[in-house]
Chains A and B, each alone.
Chain A
C-alpha cells in the first residue's frame, strides 16, 4: 500500500495532464484536408451507396473511419481502390472487396454478388495504416497463415464493430473456435457469458510472441493480470504453478471446478507418485487402497497449492 501512496500522485498528475491536452490540441480547421472535401470525394460512392443500400455503408461515418475532419481518415477509395470500372458499370466489382466468402453478399437486390479480394490484398489496405502496435507480429501468425482477412473479424462499416464490443466479441471468435464455444457452456468457466472477460483480454489475435496468441510473454503473465495473488514469489513454491498455470487449469471451461483439467487426487497424481499417499491406488470398493479421497482430496490438507508464505508451509499445509 505504501507504493500505491507514492504512485497515486503520479497517476493523478498523468490523468490531469492527459485530461488537459484538449487545450493543446490542434484546431481541426487548420487541417490540410477539410471534411467537406472528404465528403465530396466520397460522393462518388455514396451517391449510389446511400441509405437504401442493404449492407451498412453510411454507418461508417459513426466510426473512427468516418471522422472526416481527421486527415488520416481514409476515403472510400483509400481502401476500396479507385474502382473506375465499378463506377462506370456497377456489375463490375470494386478494386478491393472486403469480407470473407461467407459474409459478403454484394447488392442482393440487383443480383450482384462480388467475390471478396484475396486476404493478402484486403489486409494490405488495412495494414497500410494499422501496422505496428497490436499488429507487430501479424506476419507469420496463426490467423495470417490460415488466410484470415482483417474483415473476417472486423466490420468497420458498422457503428460499433462487434468484435470491439465486449458483449459481442466472443460470438465473432466462436464463429471459428467452436471448441471454445462449447467450453464456455461448461460447468466451470470464466465470466465470458456475462461479458466480463473477453477473448482479447488474454489473446492478441493479430499475433504475439507468447504461446497461443497470448498478449503477454508467458501464460502466467497473462493470468497474473487478474490473479496477482498467485504471483508470489512464495517461500514454498509449487513447480507447475511457477511454470505454467495451464499445467492444471484449462481456461476456457471445464466439467471440473475450478477450471481444472483433472480432479484431485488424480490431478495431483499426474505429477506425484511416491510422496505421502500418492503411491496408493485410490478407488471405491478396493481394500488396500488409500481412502477414497473425498471432498477436495489432497487439497483438504495441502491447501496452499499455489504456494505458501508460511515458515510452516513446506508441505503447502499452511
Chain B
C-alpha cells in the first residue's frame, strides 16, 4: 500500500514537531564521507539514531497496583514524551573522538527519566542522569488519623474519643465519620553523575555519585496497650515516613597492563532519615483504668553511614596463569538519638544514643590456569566478616502489655569463609565436564561478654549460661561441603544438552543455651531441638537439565528444568524444602521479517515444617504440629512481531502473558488440638493472584523520518488473600482499627498514540 503523507490527518502535528526540532536536527546533521559516498544506504547506518516522540497515554481505571511502578496509577490522560539525540565529531566517518547525547523517557509520568552524556573516547567521559520512580503501594487505605503523607505525627480528631470496651467492631458515628482515604506511595528521585578520565593507556580514574531523594510513606502496623486484658494487644495501621536521602559515592583509580591490573577505590554511602521516630494517638487508651499510654512512639530507621575502601588486582604469570584478588575494609556507623523513639517513663535507656559501629572486612584470592585448551583449573578463597563493635547494655522498658523486662542488646558478629577448587575439562570438541568442590564456613559470635555478665552474672539464667563470646548465637558455627558436577554436550550441530548435579551437606554446631533479648521476659527460648532453617544441619540435592534444539533455521525449541531438595536434620523446624521448575520455550521465524515466540514456565515449591507446643528449652513438648506450604506458579507467554508490512511501512508487535500464582498453607495439629470445622480444619484460604495481559502495538512510517505509533494494552488482575485483608475490614476484629485495605484487582485498558520523528 502506498501512502501519501498529505492524506494523513496528523500532518499539522508533523509540521509542528518538525519545526520545533529544526535546530536540533541541524545540529546532528552530518556530512557524509567515504562509506556513504559509495553506498547511499550507509548514511542511515553510520549516523546516530536520533528521535523525538510526543504523544499521549490513556488509562481507563484508577489502580495503584497497575501503576505500581510505571506512573500510570490514575485513569485519564498522561503525556508521553521520549527523545534521544546524539552527536559529535566521531560519527559519520569523521575523524574525531567526541560524542554527546541527551535523552528522556516517560516524560509526563511519575516514571520520567532525563540525562545527558559527553565523552572523548579513551580520554574522558561525563554523564548525568535524573530518574523518578513512584512506588504506588495502595489506594484502598482509609484512616481516621489526621496526618499527611511523609509526616511522622498521627493524631486523632478531638471528637474521636476512645474505643468502646467491645473493641473496634463497634465504632461510634463520630469515629466512622473521621475516616478518609489516602493514596499511599513512596517516591524516589535519583540523580546520578558519572565521570571517568584516562591518564594514559594504563591509568584511569572513575567517579560515580548517586543521590536518592525519597519521599512519601509506607504502611506500617502498630500495637498499643489494650483497653482491657481481654482484648490483648491492639493494632492500628499507620504510615511510616520515607523521608530519606541517600548519597552513594564511588571513586576508583585503575591501572592495567599486559601483566596485570590494579584498582584502588573508595565507596561511601550516607543515609539520612529526616525523622528518627513517629508518634500516634493510642485510640485504645482506657482513661478509666489508665491502661496503655498516649501518644505512643516508635523508632524509624536511623541515619547511618557506610565507608568502604576497596583494593583489587591481578597478576598474569603467563597468559594462561593468573592470580586475582581483592581486599575491602568498611565501617558502618550510626549515632541517632533515642529521643522521641520511646514514651518517656516507659523505658530507661542507659545512654542517649547507640554510637554503633560495625567493621566489615572482605578478602578474596583466585588462581586460575588454562595451560591447555582442554583443561582449566582454578582455586579460590573468599572471606567476609561483620565485626559488630557496638556496646551492650541493659535497656529496661515496659512492654505493650505493661510488663517490665530488662533485656540486653546483642550486637551480633559473623565471619563467612569460602573456598573453591574447580576444574573444567573438554572431553572432545563436543563434550565439556566441570567439577567443583566448595567449602563454606559461617561463624557467629558477640563482643559483649561484660553486658551479658550484667544480665546474668556468672549464674545460669533460665537454664542458660551466657557469658561467653558465642552465647548470643544458637549456631556458633556451621560448615557446608558442596560437590558439583556439570556436563555439556553438543549432540549434533543443532542439539545442545546440559546437565548438572550438586550435593551439599551442612553441619551445624548447636548451642542450646544462647541468649535472646526476649528471654528477659521469660520468652525468646526456642524449643529444645528447634533450629532456624538457615542455620540447621541439612543435606541438599540439586539437579538440572536442559536441551536446546535448533530444529530448522527458522525454528528453535528449548526445554529445561531443575529440582532442588533440602532435607533438614532438626527435630523441630523446617524438615524439608523442595523446589522445581520446568521451562519450555519456542521461537518460529515464519518469514525473514516475522517471528512468533512462546514460553511456558511451571514452578512448584513446598516447605514442610514441624513445630512443637510448649515453651522454654528444657520442658517437654506437649504436642507437635506441622504446617505445609505449597506454592504453584504457572506463567505462559506468546508474542509475535511482524516487520515491513504494507510496503515496508508498518511494524507490528503483539504479546499475551498469563500468570497464575497459588500459595496454600495447611496446618495439621496433634493431640492438643481439635478440628471443629471440617471444611477448613487447619487449611488456610488460598493466596491466589491471576493476571492476564494482552498488548498490541504498531508503528506506521509516514515517510523516511516520521512514524505514528499506536498501542493498546488490556491487563486484568485478580488477587485474593482473605487471611490478610479480612482483618482490616470493619467488624471483622475487635482488636484492630479498620484500615479497609483491599487486595488489589483491576481491569485496565490502556491506549497510547505517539508521533515519532527520526533525525539522521
Contacts and interface: CB of A to CB of B under 8 A. Distances in A.
Given A242-B412, A274-B615, A303-B298, A136 B126 contact: no
20 contacts: A1-B303, A39-B35, A58-B39, A66-B90, A70-B121, A140-B366, A147-B432, A186-B633, A195-B105, A233-B390, A235-B395, A263-B723, A274-B523, A276-B523, A282-B667, A286-B675, A303-B223, A309-B302, A310-B341, A318-B298
B678 A285 contact: yes
Interface in B284-330: 297-299, 301-306, 312, 314, 322, 324, 326, 328
A275 B667 contact: no
Interface in A216-252: 217-218, 221, 224-226, 228-237, 239-240, 242-244, 247
B445 interface: no
A182 to B, nearest CB: 4
Nearest to A140: B378
Interface in B661-694: 661-663, 665-667, 669-670, 672-685, 687, 689, 691
Interface string A17-42: 01101100110110100111001000
B96 to A, nearest CB: 5
B517 A318 contact: no
B35 A310 contact: no
B95 interface: yes
A180 to B, nearest CB: 10
Candidate in B105, B405, B661 with the most chain A CB atoms within 10 angstroms: B661
The 7 closest A-B pairs by CB, nearest first: A51-B41, A285-B677, A283-B667, A283-B682, A295-B727, A285-B680, A255-B661
Interface stretch (B42-50, B172-180, B463-471, B696-704): B42-50
Interface residues of B, number: 225
Interface in A135-166: 136-137, 139-140, 145-147, 159-160
Contact of A145 (B332, B424, B533, B615): B424
Contacts of B673: 281, 286-289
Given A61-B46, A140-B368, A272-B532, 11 more contacts: A67-B121, A69-B95, A140-B422, A146-B498, A194-B111, A229-B244, A256-B663, A262-B629, A281-B669, A295-B235, A310-B341
Interface of A: 1, 3-4, 7, 11, 14-15, 18-19, 21-22, 25-26, 28-29, 31, 34-36, 39, 43, 46-47, 50-52, 54, 56, 58-59, 61-62, 64, 66-73, 101-102, 105, 108, 113, 115, 120, 131-133, 136-137, 139-140, 145-147, 159-160, 167, 178-179, 181-182, 185-187, 191, 193-196, 209, 217-218, 221, 224-226, 228-237, 239-240, 242-244, 247, 255-256, 262-263, 266, 269-276, 278-289, 292-296, 299-301, 303-304, 306, 308-315, 317-318
A233 B395 contact: no
A69 B16 CA distance: 37
B386 interface: yes
Contact of B687 (A263, A309, A318): A263
Contact of B95 (A28, A236, A256, A296): A28
A179 to B, nearest CB: 5
B511 interface: no
Interface in B80-117: 89-99, 105, 111
A189 to B, nearest CB: 8
B203 to A, nearest CB: 12
A53 to B, nearest CB: 10
B273 A295 contact: no
B747 interface: no
Contact of B341 (A218, A300, A309): A309
A40 to B, nearest CB: 8
A159 to B, nearest CB: 5
Contact of A294 (B121, B343, B633, B723): B723
B42 A51 contact: yes
B34 interface: yes
A57 to B, nearest CB: 8
B663 A209 contact: no
Contacts of A242: 386, 412, 414
Contacts of B740: none
Contacts of A289: 667, 669, 673, 682
B518 interface: yes
Contacts of B676: 285-287
Contacts of B520: 314
Interface in B528-566: 530, 532-534, 548, 550, 553, 556, 560
Interface in B240-271: 242, 244-249, 251, 254, 256, 261, 263, 268-271
A288 B488 CA distance: 55
Interface string B600-643: 01010001010111111100000101010101010101000000
Candidate in B343, B416, B553, B669 with the most chain A CB atoms within 10 angstroms: B669
Interface in B394-420: 395, 397-400, 405, 407, 409-412, 414, 416
B195 interface: yes
A159 B592 contact: no
A32 B90 CA distance: 16
Interface string B449-462: 00000000000000
A232 B523 contact: no
Contacts of A232: 301-302, 304, 332, 334, 356, 358
A271 B122 CA distance: 53
A58 B42 contact: yes
Contacts of A317: 223, 298, 399-400
Given A235-B409, A283-B667, A286-B682, A255 B633 contact: yes
Contacts of A271: 532-534, 573
B197 interface: yes
Nearest to A37: B95
B552 to A, nearest CB: 11
Contacts of B38: 47, 50
A101 B494 CA distance: 8
Contacts of B89: 28, 69
Contacts of A285: 675-683
Nearest to B43: A51
B376 interface: yes
Given A73-B121, A139-B368, A314-B405, A194 B346 contact: no
Interface stretch (B18-26, B145-153, B155-163, B347-355): B347-355
Given A15-B193, A228-B271, A263 B663 contact: yes
Contacts of A303: 220-223, 298
A310 B517 CA distance: 14
B69 interface: yes
Interface in B351-402: 354, 356-358, 360, 362, 364, 366, 368, 370, 373, 376, 378, 380, 382, 384, 386, 388, 390, 395, 397-400
A110 B444 CA distance: 65
B611 A279 contact: yes
A243 B397 CA distance: 27
A4 B245 contact: yes
Contacts of A311: 338, 341-342, 347-349, 395, 397
Nearest to A175: B585
A160 B49 contact: yes
Given A137-B324, A178-B583, A194 B69 contact: yes
B170 interface: no
Contact of A224 (B269, B333, B585, B682): B269
A270 B609 contact: yes
A69 B97 contact: yes
